Amino acid sequence: MVSKNRTPCSGTETVLSHVMLPLHTNHYGSIHGAVILGFIDEVAFVAATRLTGKNVVLAAVNRASFDRPVKVGSLLTLRAHIGSIGRTSVKLKVTFEVRIE
């Protein structure tokens, strides 16, 4: 059950970076979308756990969109911003950027 009484949490950000390796690729040579979703889950977990001090699990993803392929050697930087925290839930937004070095 999600609490309707959410508390705003400004100024909370968690940042994780990963180098995209050949083990992350699909048969087209680009990074699996599922790998990126896994990294999104990871940064969301770290952010929510740091804030609450408790074990958390991902319950829902509202939307995920991939505009272009991510290639091997790219640096993927993910940022989780806590939006609010309720009695039994944490609402956050994860964004990521890709840098090709």
Q: What is the pTM of this model?
A: 0.83
How high is the mean pLDDT in each 10-residue block of the chain (101 residues)? 47 90 94 95 94 90 90 96 89 93 63
Three-state SS sequence of the chain: CCCCCCEECCCCEEEEEEECCHHHECCCCEECHHHHHHHHHHHHHHHHHHHHCCCCCCCCCCCCCCCCCCECCEEEEEEEEEEEECCCCEEEEEEEEEEEC
**pLDDT on residue 101:** 63
